[in-house]
């Protein structure tokens, strides 16, 4: 008797596993090289710490034993087209426990990344474990959706597959990062769309249906490149972060995950005195908001989401003294910083994301208000801009508001979490100016009859300018603070210090009841 594993069994295991590795599949690897892409396993190796990946279900094959001999099937469908397992990400910074992540990588070299019967079974197992252990998920979603020719398992529609439900049910419970390069259609796109953040390469195409489905529905014939290209998907808000290639996508995924892995012990601070000169002297001139965000935050810690969508608001994850935070900021180069329907959607969803995972919120406000007019109303502004109020009113995380310049009307209230006394504090730079609506509009509205009574155009304009100047002086930050509508007026160079004091003054946010995050 012996308790050792017989050598022939080990040899058989090694032979079977070798078929799943890239070195055992030179033809498949060569095809990826032709398109300038990596294999699924190369992306995983770049994402996780060396030697940390533990794969589940590596020996799975497609449910097509009626069509292929076992050896042929193993070569054609290693892991049934989805590589699944646990590894650590950023382990050097956060340790093994803090850096654990679940990785789900569809393999385009296996039947174009389609979703098979056993692949779904593996996916369901992984999703259950991710929920049980509360580990983040990284999904590499390249592929074409359901596989129609898995004939070994009797089925008609496959609509009882629980994978999509299981993945969606993890919303707000664990961070879910979607990465896509190349073609991503149908079921793969549905999983991708459930993710909290989507990182996509320049060569990506994402659509709820691919060419075959579109043609089958009688909607015409289109090449894959015409369906959901990156230029479309980053402008409409589907893609959160556009990158050049898979290497950059993995690097961004690691940076994104790091915010959810805790605070860092080391950080670098930019010179804060530069904030005193950050705004132009002319009150109506636009300025660049991103350098201000980057100055207040730890050096190199800012990651912007949805840059090309809802452009009048900038949404970023960042760190202050190593602590993860979310930052909202108006961009005066876009609509003067006014909040249109897209910007409100973007902001409300970002508030949900930060609230779900306990990130304190910082708002840098400079807005003339909500966008108005017939075109705005045609975009369903009444419903969409109101999402900001609903999202902010239900926040569990601390909220801090710093008004850099304009704080007008309902838009300013939305940027301050509902009203100026809703945040832990609302402070303003000395350049702050306030009103129930923009000053010029308020004066013209309230003094319409008096202005119309002045026949001389030059005299009318002089009177208007005088009234606006009076309103401007009345709405200056120091005057508004004297009525306790603001908590303080601060030196811009002290902004970071104020935020640090605020962060250190509040208890951690409660996450006892997870909240789902709107996909939009």
Per-residue pLDDT of the chain (520 residues; tens, 9 = 90+): 456 777 888 888 888 888 888 888 999 999 999 999 999 999 999 999 999 999 999 999 998 988 898 888 888 999 999 999 999 999 888 877 779 999 999 999 999 999 999 999 999 999 999 999 999 999 999 998 888 888 888 877 788 899 999 999 999 999 999 999 999 999 999 999 999 999 999 999 999 999 888 888 899 999 999 999 999 999 999 999 999 999 999 999 999 999 999 999 999 999 999 999 999 998 889 999 999 999 999 999 999 999 999 999 999 999 999 999 999 999 999 999 999 999 999 999 999 999 999 999 999 999 999 998 999 999 999 999 999 999 999 999 999 999 999 999 999 999 999 999 999 999 999 999 998 877 666 666 667 777 777 778 888 878 777 777 777 778 899 999 999 999 999 999 999 999 999 999 998 766 666 678 999 8
Residue with tokens 């850096």: 99
Top CATH class of 272-432+476-505 equals alpha beta
The pLDDT assigned to 175 comes to 97
Distance of CA 26 to the CA centre of its chain: 36
Q: Among 203, 139, 146, which Cα is nearest to 176's?
A: 139
Contact by Cβ (8 Å): 308, 243: no
* Domain boundaries defined on the chain: 7-259, 272-432+476-505
458-489: b or e for each residue (b if 16 or more CB lie within 10 Å)?
A: eeeeebbeebbeebbeebbbebbbeeebbbeb
Contact by Cβ (8 Å): 425, 486: no
What is the number of alpha carbons within 13 Å of residue 460 lying toward its C-beta?
12
What global pTM score does this model have? Answer: 0.93
For 279, list phi and psi in degrees, rounded to 5: -100, 145
Fold of domain 7-259: 2-enoyl-CoA Hydratase; Chain A, domain 1 (3.90.226)
Query: Any idea what DSSP says for residue 242?
Result: E
Burial class (CB in 10 A: 0-12, 13-18, 19+), 74: buried
d(CA 154, CA 366): 60
d(CA 141, CA 105): 7
**Is residue 174 classed as helix, strand or coil in its secondary structure?**
coil
d(CA 206, CA 192): 9
Distance of CA 373 to the CA centre of its chain: 29
**Which residues have CB under 8 Å from 165's CB, separation 6+?**
none
The pLDDT assigned to 24 comes to 87
Q: Pairing mode, if any, of strands 361-367 and 241-243?
A: unpaired
Q: Among 396, 397, 394, 420, which Cα is nearest to 407's?
A: 420
The pair of structure tokens assigned to 328 is 């909202």
**Is residue 477 classed as helix, strand or coil in its secondary structure?**
helix
Q: Among 140, 127, 118, 142, which Cα is nearest to 58's?
A: 118
What is the number of alpha carbons within 13 Å of residue 182 lying toward its C-beta?
23
Contact by Cβ (8 Å): 163, 128: no
β-partners of residue 183 are: 205
Distance of CA 219 to the CA centre of its chain: 32
Distance of CA 56 to the CA centre of its chain: 28
d(CA 237, CA 227): 16
d(CA 358, CA 98): 16
**Which residues have CB under 8 Å from 464's CB, separation 6+?**
440, 443, 444, 447, 451
Contact by Cβ (8 Å): 351, 336: no
Q: Among 437, 420, 318, which Cα is nearest to 365's?
A: 420
The pair of structure tokens assigned to 96 is 């093994």
The pLDDT assigned to 36 comes to 94
Q: Report the length, in residues, of the chain.
A: 520
d(CA 123, CA 2): 37
d(CA 303, CA 12): 47
Q: Among 190, 98, 170, 90, which Cα is nearest to 130's?
A: 170
Fold agreement (7-259, 272-432+476-505): yes
β-partners of residue 102 are: 86, 137
The DSSP secondary structure of 502-514, one letter per residue, reads HHHHSPPPP-SS-
Q: How many C-beta neighbours within 10 Å does residue 270 have?
A: 16
Q: How many C-beta neighbours within 10 Å does residue 520 have?
A: 13
What is the number of alpha carbons within 13 Å of residue 371 lying toward its C-beta?
27
């Amino acid at each position: 008797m012996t308790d050792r594993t017989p050598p022939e069994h080990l040899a058989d295991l090694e032979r079977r596993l070798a078929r799943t590795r890239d070195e055992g599949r030179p033809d498949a690897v060569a095809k990826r090289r032709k398109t300038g892409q990596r294999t699924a396993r190369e992306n995983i190796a770049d994402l996780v710490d060396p030697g940390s990946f533990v794969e589940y279900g590596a020996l799975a094959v497609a449910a097509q034993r009626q069509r292929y001999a076992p050896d042929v099937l193993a070569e054609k469908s290693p892991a049934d087209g989805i590589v699944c397992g646990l590894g650590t990400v950023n382990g050097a910074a956060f340790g093994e426990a803090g850096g654990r992540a679940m990785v789900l990588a569809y393999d385009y070299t296996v039947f174009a990344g389609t979703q098979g019967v056993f692949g779904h079974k593996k996916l369901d197992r992984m999703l259950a474990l991710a929920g049980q252990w509360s580990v983040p998920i990284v999904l590499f979603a390249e592929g074409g959706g359901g596989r129609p020719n898995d004939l070994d398992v009797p089925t008609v529609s496959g609509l009882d597959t629980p994978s999509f439900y299981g993945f969606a049910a993890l919303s707000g419970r664990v961070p879910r990062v979607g990465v896509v390069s190349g073609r991503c259609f149908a079921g793969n796109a549905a999983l991708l769309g459930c993710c909290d953040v989507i990182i996509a390469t320049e060569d990506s195409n994402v659509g709820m249906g691919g060419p075959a489905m579109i043609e089958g529905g009688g909607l015409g014939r289109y090449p894959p490149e015409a369906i959901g290209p990156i230029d479309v998907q980053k402008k409409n808000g589907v893609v959160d972060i556009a990158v050049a290639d898979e290497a950059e996508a993995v690097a961004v995924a690691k940076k994104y995950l790091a915010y959810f892995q805790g605070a860092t012990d080391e950080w670098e601070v930019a010179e804060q005195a530069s904030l005193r000169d950050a705004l132009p002297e002319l009150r109506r001139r636009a300025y660049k908001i991103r350098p201000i965000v980057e100055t207040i935050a730890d050096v190199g810690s800012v990651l912007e989401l949805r840059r090309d969508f809802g452009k009048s608001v900038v949404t970023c994850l960042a760190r202050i003294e190593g602590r993860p935070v979310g930052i909202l900021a108006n961009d005066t180069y876009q609509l003067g910083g006014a909040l249109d329907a897209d910007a409100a959607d973007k902001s409300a969803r970002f508030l949900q994301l930060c609230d779900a995972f306990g990130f304190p919120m910082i708002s840098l406000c400079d807005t003339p208000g909500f966008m108005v007019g017939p075109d705005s109303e045609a975009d369903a502004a009444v419903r969409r801009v109101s999402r900001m109020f609903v999202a902010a009113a239900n926040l569990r995380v601390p909220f801090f508001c710093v008004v850099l310049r304009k704080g007008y009307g309902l838009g300013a209230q939305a940027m301050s979490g509902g009203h100026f006394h809703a945040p832990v504090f609302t402070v303003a730079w000395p350049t702050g100016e306030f009103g129930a609506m923009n000053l010029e509009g308020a004066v013209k509205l309230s003094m319409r009859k008096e202005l119309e009574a002045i026949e001389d155009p030059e005299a009318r304009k002089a009177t208007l300018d005088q009234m606006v100047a009076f309103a401007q002086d009345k709405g200056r930050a120091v005057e508004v603070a004297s009525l306790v509508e603001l908590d303080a007026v601060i030196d811009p160079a002290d902004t970071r210090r104020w935020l640090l004091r605020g962060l250190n003054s509040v208890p951690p946010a409660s996450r006892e009841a997870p909240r789902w995050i709107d996909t939009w």
